[in-house]
Structure 1
């Protein structure tokens, strides 16, 4: 067991309540108060007021979430006893900086928990794309008959024997591969960090990005958004896709040259299922809203509603491991920051 000022570690929260409903239900807060000492169940939404100054002065474990204020040098100056930051969400980019690592404060996050609903959403998107579900729906509703949908069932649709291209063996990408394994899919993977031996272990065929774009019936994007990956899906690569193929993006909008994507979609040659755009909300006149071969959702693939409780559970589990002196399962180190989405 680690040593704390009063025997049990002092725990505080920093997140925006309107964005984090269900993350820490009462049962989880009570569990934290059993293994530690919750200073105040109401989360801090700023670090520059009197209440925050008092709480930070005692805090040894800080549980953060969406909408948390930045843990910068000024905030750390008020938190002399802080030992652990547990982020009950995914990326910590924009939340903390080098000053935290300089102090030796440990950091953990719940990106693995957030990966699960994204992967489940992607699985559903792949299955629906393979069966052209959205096109069937549109024709059926428009015609009020099965005049067009019955002949479509004789086309080369469905999920048997489809080739799925996964771009990025991230947490989400790997979970998608795992979820696809019971189906009769051929799975291609592009990830320069994955070797042939690991690809074989994952049950996928390692390939180059251009070859994946040209071979896959359905392409699903799971790469991190970094300067080097900006617009990695451009007009040339989109032109490689098969006629009738579907492009799925549940990662980040900045990975795609969206002008090129919309141009390709306007031809009707490919379809798209898009959960993320750049900017996050397209302008009102954007073709993202109007094209019939785009299925657009408002960044809902990640943890929503009750799925958010997984984030809180993972954060509480990490806090318990820290208190008991065990290694963190999802620790973030300084060198990880450059590779994080």
Structure 2
């Protein structure tokens, strides 16, 4: 009997993940059950009904978590393939206890996140956000130029990267290609890997003290939650630039806001403790802050790669081959 693949991805996202059509991308792997347009996948009963007969469930970020009643309704379920990166909100540990395996498409987004982090880095170095904000607010031309802090080129700039993750490595590669001097803080990055990446390795405090730009690319784990607090921010040189396209939980938000309000640092931020970012949040008013709405990985190319990666993982699973992007119960338990 052909395996049943339930696709819990709304129409607007299916068009991005599977641009040639979900039938062309996944139909050859099994019998498809695709969510109807307009159905609210955040409802557990709705997801349970869709997943009921499925061997494989493809999920995306509007989905309710695959846990509890959803699992009970899908006794044949053997694989959850998530089109995004973080599976923490979408899969419960009870799924693993029942033998369900999990994979995700985070690797597909690494280049897009790395490129946006680079774009934000260049914008901060050249004070693009400050110039744009000043001119839009009616500040005189000469005053806008005179009031901006000193600008720098990326070539020769010391750039600190926290976390040699997929996105961290993509960012480091791009920065190095433009002449940036990269030092990475990651206790799991070996000397041989660092040499292959063309980067130096140092402890976090050393990286903080020596960075003109600090880019965050670490996962949220117990040991990384709020790892950048008031003490750490104080170690950054005056005028340093912070780029966060990873997770808001890596940073003490109140401590960062205090530094930004003082004007000592500039920052570009894609991720926030509260999302959507409230319209009255003070970050929205600061001229030294560049904001984007948690969209660093959202290029058309990254979405299409994500869909192709999911399709490949499903094919490998059904063929009894090793998954390349599997998430284990132990990994899920550690993720923040």
Q: TM-score, normalised by structure 2?
A: 0.88
Correspondence 1:177-192 to 2 at 5 A? 177-192=172-187
| Correspondence 1:1-341 to 2 at 5 A | 6=1, 8-17=2-11, 22-25=16-19, 27-40=21-34, 42=36, 45=41, 46-48=43-45, 52-53=48-49, 55-139=50-134, 142-143=138-139, 145-146=141-142, 149=145, 155=150, 157-303=152-298, 307-341=302-336
Change (3 A) 1:333 1:137: same
| Contact 1:253–1:280 under 8 Å retained in 2 | no
* CA displacement, residues 197-251 of structure 1 (integer Å, 9 cap, x when unaligned): 3222221111111111111111011122233322211112111111221111111
- CA offsets 1:263-306 (integer angstroms, 9 cap, x no match): 11122221111111212244444320111111122212122566
What is the alpha-carbon distance in structure 2 between the residues aligned to residue 138 and residue 289 of structure 1? Answer: 11
Q: Mark the CA change 1:167 to 1:32 in structure 2 (over 3 Å): closer, same or farther.
A: same
Partner of 1:239: helix, strand, or coil?
A: helix
Cα shift at 1:163: 0.6
Q: How far, CA to CA, are the matches of 1:215 and 1:177 in structure 2? A: 16
RMSD: 2.7
Match of 2:16, SS state, is coil
Q: Indicate if the aligned counterparts of 2:10 and 2:35 stay in contact, CA closer than 8 A.
A: no
- Structure 2 CA distance for aligned equivalents of residues 275 and 216 of structure 1: 20
Gaps of 5+ in 2: none
What's the CA shift for 1:310? 2.6
Distance change >3 Å, CA 156–CA 37, structure 1 → 2: closer
CA distance in 2, matches of 1:72, 1:39: 19
Question: 1:29, CA displacement in angstroms?
Answer: 2.8
Residue aligned with 1:228, SS: coil
What is the TM-score with the length of structure 1 in the denominator?
Answer: 0.87
Q: Which moved more, 1:121-130 or 1:316-325?
A: 316-325
In structure 2, the partner of 1:3 is none
Q: Distance in 2 between matches of 1:151 and 1:101?
A: 56
Structure 1 position 308, deviation (Å):
2.5
Distance 1:99 1:267, change over 3 A: closer
Equivalent-residue separation in structure 2 for 1:68 and 1:151 (angstroms): 47
Contact preservation (8 Å) 1:130, 1:162: no
Taking a change above 3 Å as real, the CA distance of residues 120 and 243 of structure 1, as seen in their structure-2 partners, is same
How has the CA–CA distance of structure 1 residues 70 and 145 changed in structure 2, closer, same or farther, with 3 Å as cutoff? closer
**Structure possessing the higher radius of gyration over alpha carbons:** 1
- 1:98-152 per-residue CA deviation (whole Å, 9 max, x = no partner) reads 3222232221111111333221110111122222222333455545535663897
**Structure 2 CA distance for aligned equivalents of residues 311 and 42 of structure 1:** 21
Distance 1:19 1:27 in 2: 11
